[in-house]
């Protein structure tokens, strides 16, 4: 095995290099691409062996794990896992009651016997292999098949390859890279017994709340700890008191000295989605329609949930996951829209596409290969306009299968519809079932149903369904959802206010008659056939059945479009790669990536410079004792003791204080939450948790000068654990005395 990185030097002149074309720290790179970036890595001060990153089962890559939405890492030989506080929100909510509100007060297991289950459906995935399978997925496809047949053929190959991969406890997926130009198979060990070990109180883990979200300066202690458990034989097993801690082959060493300004850092994780290879027309649609509509929806839903939860702590706990997600995405989409329009990214995308068109036209061979691609992609985008208002509401009611695993999005109608989809899929051969409804998915589907008991509530469900119905009432005549019109008595031309009496009458009757409030009834639906479901006299089972034909028609249209895109998108991205004449990172797709950069401040608003570190002094300044800025008494007392002379090894001499958070130039996005921040020796120096509002839109076009990511400093983490929360036993477990 290769020796890890030799060193990562802070360059005295590093800050002067920001304008150099090679200095842009852009790229969520595939590990296999890192050796090709040796010159760029040297420029930020890395002098180790880039080949180290290509060994996914070695150090440090083998210590990085996925939580199915967040990244995390092993930090002890006994399966202790570090991630963000907001990545533990689901586990905290699952284990909370009004009498024991972990979301507010935090949690610490003093012994391993005190560690509590994260709940059904919680997973840790450990990557064991990453294989190019492009030929098996898109090779030798008859160009004469129509778009729907092409989609179905690729889907069948994806399912076949996945099934062949899954054995010996592995969970596999095949992911598309470069718009379908390449496909890679990701094999992971799936651990299903995951337990909550430690999360600080809300006044630390979410200090600043939505006011500071996506902002700098930041003073948030965004960390938490889980532990992975397996059966006594060492193999993955469902939760049992007899299970034992998982012993990973690799775990990260924590470096208590942290980092300094100018140091090079790496972030390794599973970034979710970026859109840098979108066409101009696709980005234009997002600016003109998608984001403005999304912002309106999120604002309206937030208002509904906040009004419902006022004065009712139990309801607040149930709605907490959905509400926090809505707030986070609202701020994100607002920042995206501002960056795309006011920040000039849309105009830059248009300019870049014109340059691509000119580059294609300049060569007859390029014109032959690529000349038809952009007009054809633009036509596909234009075709979505005709039904987009209807489709948006339908997706609220019946979200994509991947979203139905998020219990915060659960509703009575989506539960009933998932049961209907499963009933229709069950008689088929497994390879013919839709992905998400195969036998490999049945266990996770049922776990989701069990878990959602902690978040489903008829008051929340009714309020959000009422909102969706009122929006459906205002749809134009050509986009009506006929099933809702027929059931509720809506007609074209209605506005939301005019529809309210009819909607309220239907809802009153439906919620009085439904059995969906009973968990055993909901679970029984998943054992029924389609014929059995048709005989169930429940308004939400009936609503799901009535909406299903439109859902199926929409899915077929999407599949046909996907088939067309599978011909065009690879050619489009291939043209971008050829024109770039250098390394190009694929868009993020929730697979393991590496990004690098430096610890560095940046110019903020006019006349303001954002320093790269914040400190405990900022917590003192922001603390009000109320709402989002209510630091725990124990923390304030520990800060006071520090001010009076108590020594700590976690103070940074150049700051004269304990650092809290820091900025770096690494390129990250959603899904990177919880990703370990590593120094040049592969040691843990922080946890990535956010970006800055003014450059959120770098998901579409990277800003090489201003883009910054925000990390929780490991020194703040260790100081709080030892001086505030009494978690010294975990510090010792991580190998620190």
- What is the mean pLDDT of the segment spanning 186-205? 97
Residue indicated by tokens 């100081």? 719
The two structure tokens encoding residue 323: 């509400």
- What is the mean pLDDT of the segment spanning 99-118? 97
Question: Which pLDDT score, from 0 to 100, does residue 403 have?
Answer: 83
Question: Which pLDDT score, from 0 to 100, does residue 7 have?
Answer: 43
If one counts every other C-beta atom within 10 angstroms of the C-beta of residue 137, the result is 22
Contact 221, 717 (CB under 8 A): yes
If one counts every other C-beta atom within 10 angstroms of the C-beta of residue 726, the result is 12
The two structure tokens encoding residue 599: 């610890």
Distances (CA, A) of 618 to 92, 97, 98, 627, 647: 27, 32, 31, 17, 19
Question: Which pLDDT score, from 0 to 100, does residue 117 have?
Answer: 97
Confidence of residue 23 (pLDDT cuts 50, 70, 90): very low
Contact 665, 20 (CB under 8 A): no
Contact 221, 227 (CB under 8 A): no
User: So which residues are the catalytic ones?
Assistant: 86, 222, 673
Given a cut of 90, whether residue 17 has pLDDT beyond it is: no
Given a cut of 70, whether residue 33 has pLDDT beyond it is: yes
Residue, of 1 and 263, whose pLDDT is higher: 263
Percent of the chain at pLDDT above 90?
91
**C-alpha 515: how far from its chain's center?**
33
14-123+192-275+586-733: CATH architecture: Beta Barrel (2.40)
pTM to 2 decimals?
A: 0.93
If one counts every other C-beta atom within 10 angstroms of the C-beta of residue 528, the result is 18
Contact 335, 216 (CB under 8 A): no
Candidates 266, 282, 146; CA nearest to 668 is 266
Given a cut of 70, whether residue 350 has pLDDT beyond it is: yes
N residues, the chain: 737
Which helix (H) or strand (E) element contains residue 198? strand 193-199
Average pLDDT, the chain: 94
DSSP H helical segments within 581-632, as ranges?
A: 616-622
* 694 CB-near residues (< 8 Å, 6+ apart): 335, 339, 343, 706
Any idea where the domains of the chain sit in the sequence? 14-123+192-275+586-733, 124-190, 278-375, 384-585
- Tell me, letter by letter, the H, E, C secondary structure of 221-234: CCCEEEEEEECCCC
Question: Which pLDDT score, from 0 to 100, does residue 8 have?
Answer: 54
Stretch among 2-6, 244-248, 418-422, 518-522 having the lowest mean pLDDT: 2-6
- What is the mean pLDDT of the segment spanning 86-109? 97
Rounded to whole angstroms, how far apart are CA atoms 619 and 356? 49
- What is the mean pLDDT of the segment spanning 300-315? 95
- What is the mean pLDDT of the segment spanning 401-408? 82
Question: Which pLDDT score, from 0 to 100, does residue 5 have?
Answer: 40
Question: Which pLDDT score, from 0 to 100, does residue 716 have?
Answer: 98
Confidence of residue 497 (pLDDT cuts 50, 70, 90): confident
Contacts 24+ apart (CB under 8 A), 438-443: 438/159, 440/162, 440/166, 440/171
Q: Name the burial class of residue 606, with classes exposed (0-12), middle (13-18) and buried (19+) by CB atoms within 10 angstroms of its CB.
A: exposed
Confidence of residue 6 (pLDDT cuts 50, 70, 90): very low
Rounded to whole angstroms, how far apart are CA atoms 706 and 694? 8
Tens digits of residue pLDDT in 197-216: 999 999 999 999 999 999 99
Tens digits of residue pLDDT in 121-134: 999 999 999 999 99
| Omega before 734 within 30 of 0, i.e. cis | no
Torsion angle of alpha carbons 84, 87, 92, 93, nearest 10°?
150
Question: Which pLDDT score, from 0 to 100, does residue 100 have?
Answer: 96
Rounded to whole angstroms, how far apart are CA atoms 214 and 662? 13
Residue indicated by tokens 């790269």? 612
Given a cut of 80, whether residue 4 has pLDDT beyond it is: no
- What is the mean pLDDT of the segment spanning 553-581? 96
Candidates 35, 43, 57; CA nearest to 11 is 43
């Amino acid at each position: 095995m290769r020796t890890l990185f030799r060193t990562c030097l802070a360059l005295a002149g590093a800050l002067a290099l920001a304008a150099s074309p090679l200095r842009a720290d852009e790229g969520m790179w595939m590990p296999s691409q890192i050796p090709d970036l040796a010159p760029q890595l040297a420029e930020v001060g890395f002098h180790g062996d880039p080949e180290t990153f290509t060994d996914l089962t070695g150090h440090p890559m083998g210590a990085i794990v996925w939580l199915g939405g967040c990244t995390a890492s092993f930090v002890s030989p006994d399966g202790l896992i570090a991630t963000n506080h907001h990545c533990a929100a689901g586990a905290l909510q699952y284990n909370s009651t009004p009498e024991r509100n972990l979301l507010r007060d935090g949690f610490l297991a003093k012994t391993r016997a005190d560690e509590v289950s994260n709940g059904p459906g919680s997973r840790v995935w450990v990557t064991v292999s990453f294989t190019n399978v492009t030929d098996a997925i898109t090779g030798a496809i008859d160009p004469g098949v129509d778009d729907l047949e092409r989609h179905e053929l690729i889907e069948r190959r994806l399912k076949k390859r996945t099934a062949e991969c899954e054995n010996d406890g592995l969970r596999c997926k095949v992911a598309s890279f470069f718009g379908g130009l390449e496909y890679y198979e990701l094999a992971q060990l799936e651990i299903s017994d995951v337990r909550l070990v430690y999360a600080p109180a809300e006044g630390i883990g979410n200090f600043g709340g939505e006011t500071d979200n996506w902002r700098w300066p930041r003073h948030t202690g965004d960390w938490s700890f889980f532990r992975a458990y397996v059966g006594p034989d060492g193999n993955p097993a469902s939760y049992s008191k007899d299970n034992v801690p998982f012993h990973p082959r690799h775990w990260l060493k924590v470096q208590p000295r942290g980092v300094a300004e100018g140091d090079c850092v790496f972030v390794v994780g599973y970034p979710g989605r970026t859109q840098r290879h979108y066409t101009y027309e696709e980005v234009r649609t997002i600016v003109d329609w998608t984001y403005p509509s999304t912002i309106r929806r999120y604002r309206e839903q937030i208002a509904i949930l906040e009004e419902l939860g006022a004065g009712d702590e139990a309801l607040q706990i149930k709605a907490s996951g959905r509400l926090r997600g809505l707030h986070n995405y609202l701020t994100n989409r607002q920042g995206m829209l501002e960056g795309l329009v006011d920040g000039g990214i849309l105009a830059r995308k248009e300019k870049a596409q014109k340059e691509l068109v000119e580059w294609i036209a300049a060569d007859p061979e390029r014109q032959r290969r690529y000349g038809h691609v952009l007009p054809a992609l633009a036509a596909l985008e234009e075709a979505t306009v005709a039904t987009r208002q209807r489709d948006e509401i339908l997706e609220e009611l019946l979200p994509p299968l991947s979203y139905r695993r998020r219990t915060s999005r659960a509703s009575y109608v989506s539960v009933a519809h998932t049961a209907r989809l499963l009933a229709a899929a069950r008689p088929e051969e497994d390879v013919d079932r839709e992905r998400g409804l195969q036998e490999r998915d049945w266990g996770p589907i049922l776990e989701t149903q069990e878990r959602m008991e902690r978040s489903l509530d008829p008051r929340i469900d009714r309020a959000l369904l009422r909102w969706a119905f009122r929006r459906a009432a205002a749809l134009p005549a050509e986009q009506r959802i006929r099933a809702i019109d027929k059931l509720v008595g809506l007609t074209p031309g209605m506005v939301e206010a005019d529809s309210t009496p009819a909607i309220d009458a239907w809802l009153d009757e439906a919620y009085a008659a439904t059995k969906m409030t009973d968990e055993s009834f909901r679970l029984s639906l998943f054992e029924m056939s389609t014929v059995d479901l048709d005989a169930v006299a429940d308004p939400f089972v009936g609503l799901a059945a009535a909406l299903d034909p439109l859902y199926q028609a929409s899915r077929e249209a999407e599949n046909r479009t996907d088939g067309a895109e599978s011909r065009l998108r690879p050619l489009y991205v291939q043209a971008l790669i050829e024109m770039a004449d250098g390394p190009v990172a694929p868009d993020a797709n929730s697979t393991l990536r590496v990004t690098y950069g430096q610890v560095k401040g940046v110019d903020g608003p006019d006349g303001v410079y954002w320093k790269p570190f914040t400190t405990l002094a900022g917590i003192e300044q922001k603390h009000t004792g109320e709402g989002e800025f209510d630091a725990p008494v124990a923390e304030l007392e520990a800060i006071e003791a520090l001010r009076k002379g108590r020594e700590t090894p976690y103070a940074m001499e150049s700051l004269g204080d304990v650092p809290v958070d820091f900025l770096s130039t690494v390129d990250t996005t959603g899904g990177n939450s919880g990703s370990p921040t590593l120094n040049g020796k592969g040691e843990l120096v922080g946890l990535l948790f956010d970006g800055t509002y003014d450059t959120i839109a770098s998901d579409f076009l990277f800003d090489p000068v201003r883009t910054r990511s925000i990390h929780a400093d490991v020194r703040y983490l260790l100081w709080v654990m030892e001086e505030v929360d009494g978690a010294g036993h975990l510090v010792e477990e991580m190998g620190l005395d």
